[in-house]
Every structure is written in structure tokens, then in C-alpha cells.
Chains A and B, each alone.
Chain A
């Protein structure tokens, strides 16, 4: 899963929060800026959702591995 701009989950989350806040206050932005922010927000959202899904898959996979290990150990 590619990490957007090498940000950690928390950092990306904060950034998305900032983007949303800025957009909610779009009156102080140029149209181009607002559009760019929105685009960035959509990318961040997709990236974060993907990361969560990936993490969940990984956990399931690893738990499976632990159980396999136990079976072979027994």
C-alpha cells in the first residue's frame, strides 16, 4: 500500500482534517486552491481507507499464521 507523501496514518489523518477545515472555510481560498484541496482530500481519504483495509487484512493473515504455528508446534 503506497503511503501518500510518506505520511504516517496519524499525519495523513491530521492533514485530511486540515483539508476539510480549510474547505469548510472556502471563502478565503482561490478556486484553484479549493479544487486542489478537495482533490487532495479525496486522495487522502482513499489512501487512509486503503491503509485500514490493508492493516485489517494483514492482522487476519498474521493471526492465521500464529494459529498455523501453534498447530505445527503441537
Chain B
């Protein structure tokens, strides 16, 4: 009887021969592999090595257990990719397949057809899958994160009423910001029913209308943090109307609750620190503002003063006389000058006319006087000649006659003088200069060389150019319309 079922059937050693028939190595390995195919194995162990090299057609890994036993394994690359899990050293896995000896090396390997994570590895894979799903849903989007208030007045803490976490948080908040009002929702954070309690704790916290909610718990095994990877808990956090800070476990633990929270802190203490500024920091900040306030304000005033001084040194403000008065003084001077030249010119012309009249008047008077004097003198002479004879008797007569003559002569002279004055008056009245001085004007045709005086409307036609002579100058104009008077 064959003690080993592996070798029953097939190449059975010939029992009738004392010396068993020898096989070639290839035949032996081939025989072994054929036999192994009939014995599918499922082995559970920890991954002690993983070789995932793109150049190889298979992924090679080794399973071991606490007794340091080791089994080499491999999986065809296409099968490995179809698994959808990434093998990492330390993972607890369950691999199913058949044993096979590689004829080139004689090495025994488990050729795995399926691999699955077990224990924490399986948990992590499940959590990762949920995280991926929620991420695709957009639950972790940065745009969904609420900003923390800078100066919270009321903070609610959801955590276990026992344990270090609550103490760490309370101690930190008391130290940093003793003025902040605190609410605590004591809940069970692990074990069965923890999820429901956490959800209820969050609801109660929100009902207290705090500025921030802290969801914290101390460190623990991966499995003990599972309530924070629960989909309902994660969705409850996402639905909160108040910003949530998580501080769950200790680094490097990372739960889905952390991903969905508005701010994730690594520990409960860190969460408390993030939630509010410390009074010491605020004091330092205020001191900084104190320094800045003085500096900024005085600088501002200096700048304003500088601008004002620039305005005030503009030459308008420094030499206002130049701008405000001098301009007008210059204008007045200008007018004064034109007056000074305009008035004498018109006066001069009138003086000339008067002088001319005066000259003519005096020469006229002189000639008349001379004539009269001559005739008187002649008469006197004649009288004297004849009088010499008649002197005696005629002397009275002569004196009388002389008296008459003198009277006549002077009367004639007076008449002439009056006449001359009269003429001079008329002359002046008739002088065109006098007429012009009274506001009349003379109109001349200025067409061509014949600048004839115009005395009738019929002398001009529309469009003709005319010159108007006034007492002090001439105006050149154009006839725009002619209206003969009725």
C-alpha cells in the first residue's frame, strides 16, 4: 500500500521490482505539479514581502505567520489587477490557489487565483472604498468647508465623558480662552451603538447654538475608531450647520470623519488649540496694533500736512497780489493808457479848429480896425488942413464933428466886432467838426477813388462799402439795407 496519497496512481513505482524506477528531475517535478493541481489550498498569513515589478509577468509575495513559517506565493499580473486591492507588507491576507514547483529553480510557490484582505486589512479596504464613494459624491470638497469664526464665544465638545480627550480639551480651552462658554455632549465613542450616540451628540451640540463643535476622542486601535468611519456619522457631520473640528485618535490615524470635517486636527488637544485664539496671542496682537496705530496715524497726518504745504506754497498763495490784484491793475493801466491817447487826440483836433477860427477872427478884426482908423485919420487930416482956417470959429464945430466921428468910428467898430462874433458863432455852428462833436457823422462812399460825401440814400446800393466819419475817427461799414424815408 502506498502511504502517500500523492503518489497513488499515475507513475506508480513498480512494486514487483526491488529497485524503484528512477525518474528524471523534470518528470518528478511534472508529476508533483500534476498531483498538486488536485489540491487547492487556502492560506491565511501576513504579507512579509511584496514584489510588484512591472517587468515581471506576476506579482511575487510571501506569507508568514508568528512561527516564522514562510510560504512563497505569486499571482499573474492580470489577475492581480482584477483584484482591485494593493498588497502591502504587514497586511493580513487570505490567498487561495494551488501549489506549484518551478522546474527551473525547484522552488515551491502558491500560485494564487484569489487574494482577500482579512482582519484590519479588510476593514481598511472597506473604509477606503467608502471614502472613495463619498469623495466622488463631493462630500470632502474644499468648497463645502465652513470657515471657523475668529473669536468663538461658545464651543460645544462631543466626546466621551471619560478618558483623556475631554480633559485635554477642557484644559487647553481654559488655558487659552477662559472666557469661552463650553457645552459638552458626553457620548459613547466606541463599541456597539457608538454611531447612534455620536449622531445624537452632534444633534444636541448643534441645538445649543455654539460657534464651533469639537468632535474628539483619544487614540485607539484602528478597529476602535470605526464609528468615525461610519457612513451615517460622516453624513451627520457633513449636515451640521456649525463648523466641526475633529481630533480623533493620534497621528497617523485618519478617519472619514476627519475628511468630512471642516478642519481636521491630529489630536483632541490640537483641535482645542485650533478652535480659538489664545489670550496671550491676542494680547501680543493688540500690543502690535498699539504700536501700529500711533505710527500709521501720525504718518497719515504728516502726509496730509505735506500735501497741504505743497498747496500753500503754490505761487498763487505766496504772491496773491500777483494773481489777484496785479492782473486787474494791469488791465486798468491798459485802459488808462488808451484813454490818455484817445482823449487828447480828439481834443487836439477841436483846439486846432478853434485856433484857426481865432486866428481868422483876429486878422479880420485887425484889417477892419485898420481901415476905419485910416479913414478917421484922413478925415482928421483934412479937417485939420481946412480947420486951420476955420480954427477959430469952427473949433467947436470941429470938436463936435470929431466927437461925432469918434462916436461913429467906435460904433462902427462895435458893430463890426459884433458882426464878427456873430459870424464866428455861425462859422463854428456850421463847421462840420462842431456838427460831428454833437454826434452827427459824415458818410462817404469808399468805393474806388471817388470818396464822395453821401447825402442821399439813392447814392448807395446794397453791398456798397462806406466810411463813416466821426469826430474822433472813421468807421468802415457795408450797406446791408436801404430804406428811403417816406
Contacts and interface: CB of A to CB of B under 8 A. Distances in A.
B301 A59 contact: yes
Interface of B: 290, 293-294, 297-298, 301, 304-305, 307-308, 311-312, 314-317, 320, 323-325, 327-328
A37 B327 CA distance: 15
A34 B328 CA distance: 10
A55 B314 contact: no
Interface of A: 9, 13, 16-17, 20, 23-24, 26-27, 31, 34-35, 37-38, 41-42, 45, 48-49, 52, 55-56, 59, 63, 66
A9 B323 contact: no
A41 B320 CA distance: 10
A74 to B, nearest CB: 12
Nearest to B300: A55
Nearest to B316: A23
A13 B293 CA distance: 24
Contacts of B320: 23, 38
A32 B324 CA distance: 9
B308 A49 contact: yes
A66 B290 contact: yes
A43 to B, nearest CB: 12
Contacts of A37: 324
A34 B324 contact: yes
Contacts of A41: 316-317
A5 B307 CA distance: 21
A52 B323 contact: no
A40 B290 CA distance: 39
Given A20-B314, A24-B323, A13 B297 contact: no
Contact of B327 (A27, A52, A56, A63): A27
Nearest to B297: A59
Contacts of A56: 298, 301
Nearest to A48: B308
B280 to A, nearest CB: 15
Given A24-B316, A31-B324, A45-B317, 9 more contacts: A13-B308, A20-B311, A23-B320, A23-B324, A26-B324, A34-B323, A41-B316, A45-B312, A59-B297
Given A9-B304, A20-B317, A38 B311 contact: no
B301 A23 contact: no
Contacts of B327: 26-27, 34
Nearest to A49: B308
